[in-house]
């Protein structure tokens, strides 16, 4: 038979339907359940958006209060997980640590073998509640610090800062962080979300799907880009050398992290909002270096390559200015994206068919197995 058309990287392939989010590259826009992300970012808390992604509608005040109470009361991780975390190598990458911690949460989940939709949804909410606690505990354990106990009175954003940094910052910083969580929450069939759906399609459970999603997110072509962006900005260090640095990347035909996107070719819908809040962080901290280098890189990339920045480009310096260390940036992405991943797990499961594509064979023709002496 004739070689079929191969869609390498699944470029342009519609693999399924989904009612969770919609990317419209023609207008650089993105909606979650019909609401524009920038509208959600300006007007809602991350908890409201998490509820929206799962339930399909924004919560009323009473529903939000109940949701906050339900999730905030589940933030504690077990003494067993704390012990395991203390055994992690001190130089482990926090993405590997959080992947392992989530996998462990699956072992000890009270409904571990139950993949009914109701149980899977409860697992999603437990993961949403516990992931920041695990991020804080792994980060602090690697530094030889005691974990901070989650405070159920804290909002999602306050909780993350408290668990990691042991302090709750001023409202502008909390708002910028919440905006980043909202913008990172969901993005159709990106690599990690599709990974989570693929795992789910076999009938496997929520913790397996999310563990696999975390593994996929770590890569620098995906979520790992937010860390790579800040490493790059630090390497450049000074706006005066930004152009020259970029030219040397061009000369080596090297990737420039935080630029380009599989779906958006004329601008990422999430960038203007994140950039606005990264600028605010630069004002709060009183350090414009990173935004100035960013401005030069973005202008040059557009002029010389016609390539636009993606969300990771402003998110990297924003997290740095909020006081997070670089290896935590992608784990913070996990804390947000677990909402989108799990919404997709539930959607996949509600109308499932095993995901199993074909490969076109290009190896050796069929041949007999030679005897050992003849090889």
Catalytic residues: 222, 261, 312
82 binds ligand CMC (CB under 6 A): no
DSSP state of 154: S
Sequence-separated (6 or more) residues with CB below 8 Å from residue 76: 130, 133, 149, 150
255 binds ligand CMC (CB under 6 A): yes
Least distance CB 262 / ligand CMC (angstroms): 4
Query: By rule CB under 6 A, what string of x and - marks binding of each residue 109-128 to ligand CMC?
Result: --------------------
Least distance CB 21 / ligand CMC (angstroms): 14
Question: Would you say 76 or 300 has its CB closer to ligand CMC?
Answer: 300
Q: Is 23 helix (H, G, I), strand (E, B) or coil?
A: strand
Could you give the strand order of the β-sheet that contains 35-36, starting from the edge strand earlier in sequence?
21-24, 29-32, 35-36
Q: Is 347 helix (H, G, I), strand (E, B) or coil?
A: helix
Give the ranges where the chain is alpha helix by DSSP (H).
37-43, 46-55, 61-72, 79-87, 94-108, 117-142, 156-165, 171-184, 191-201, 206-217, 225-236, 242-251, 271-285, 289-305, 312-321, 329-350
Least distance CB 257 / ligand CMC (angstroms): 5
311 binds ligand CMC (CB under 6 A): yes
Least distance CB 23 / ligand CMC (angstroms): 12
List the one residue from 129, 256, 274, 345 that touches ligand CMC (CB under 6 A). 256
Stretch that binds ligand CMC, among 147-155, 205-213, 240-248, 305-313 (CB under 6 A): 305-313
Sequence-separated (6 or more) residues with CB below 8 Å from residue 334: 95, 98, 131, 135, 214, 217, 223
List the one residue from 133, 273, 310, 336 that touches ligand CMC (CB under 6 A). 310
- From the list 115, 50, 112, the residue with the least C-alpha distance to 78 is 112
First to last CA, the chain: 31
Stretch that binds ligand CMC, among 31-39, 66-74, 146-154, 253-261 (CB under 6 A): 253-261
List the one residue from 66, 221, 240, 299 that touches ligand CMC (CB under 6 A). 221
- From the list 340, 95, 77, the residue with the least C-alpha distance to 194 is 340
Interface with ligand CMC in residues 162-201 (CB under 6 A): 190
Interface with ligand CMC in residues 16-75 (CB under 6 A): none
Query: By rule CB under 6 A, what string of x and - marks binding of each residue 258-297 to ligand CMC?
Result: xxxxx-----------------------------------
Q: What are phi and psi of 143, to 5 degrees?
A: -95, 5
Sequence-separated (6 or more) residues with CB below 8 Å from residue 22: 30, 31, 34, 188
212 binds ligand CMC (CB under 6 A): no
Least distance CB 243 / ligand CMC (angstroms): 15
The residue sitting closest to ligand CMC, measured at its beta carbon, is: 260
Residues in touch with ligand CMC (CB under 6 A): 9, 190, 221-223, 225, 255-262, 307, 310-312
């Amino acid at each position: 038979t004739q070689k079929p058309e191969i869609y390498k990287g699944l470029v342009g392939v519609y693999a399924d339907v989904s009612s969770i989010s919609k990317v419209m590259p023609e207008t650089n826009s993105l909606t979650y359940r019909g609401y524009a992300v920038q509208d959600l970012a300006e007007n809602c808390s991350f908890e409201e958006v998490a509820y929206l992604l799962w339930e399909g509608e924004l919560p009323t005040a009473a529903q939000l209060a109940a949701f906050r109470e339900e999730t905030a009361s589940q933030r504690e991780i077990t003494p067993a997980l704390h012990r395991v975390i203390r055994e992690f190598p001190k130089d482990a990458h926090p993405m590997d640590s959080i992947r392992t911690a989530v996998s462990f949460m699956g072992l000890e989940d009270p409904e571990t073998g139950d993949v009914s939709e109701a149980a899977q949804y409860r697992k999603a909410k437990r993961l949403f509640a516990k992931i920041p606690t695990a991020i804080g505990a792994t980060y602090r354990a690697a530094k030889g610090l005691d974990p901070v106990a989650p405070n159920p009175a804290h909002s999602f954003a306050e909780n993350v800062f408290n668990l990691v940094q042991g302090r709750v910052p001023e409202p502008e910083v909390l708002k910028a962080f919440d905006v980043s969580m909202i913008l990172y929450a969901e993005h159709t069939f990106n690599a990690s979300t599709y990974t989570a759906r693929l795992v789910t399609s076999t009938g496997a459970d929520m913790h397996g799907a999310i563990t696999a999603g975390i593994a996929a997110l770590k890569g620098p072509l995906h979520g790992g880009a937010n860390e790579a962006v800040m490493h790059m900005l630090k390497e450049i260090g000074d706006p005066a050398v930004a152009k020259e640095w970029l030219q040397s990347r061009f000369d080596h035909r090297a990737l420039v992290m935080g630029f380009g996107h599989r779906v958006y070719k004329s601008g990422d819908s999430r960038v203007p909002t994140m950039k606005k809040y990264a600028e605010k962080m630069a004002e709060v901290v009183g350090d414009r270096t990173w935004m100035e280098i960013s401005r030069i890189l973005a202008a040059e990339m557009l002029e010389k390559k016609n390539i636009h920045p993606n969300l990771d480009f402003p998110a990297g310096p924003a997290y740095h200015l909020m006081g997070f260390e670089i290896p935590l940036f992608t784990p913070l992405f996990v804390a947000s994206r677990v909402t989108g991943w799990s919404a997709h797990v539930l959607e996949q499961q509600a109308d499932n068919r095993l995901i199993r594509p074909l490969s076109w064979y290009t190896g050796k023709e069929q041949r007999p197995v030679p005897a050992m002496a003849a090889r």
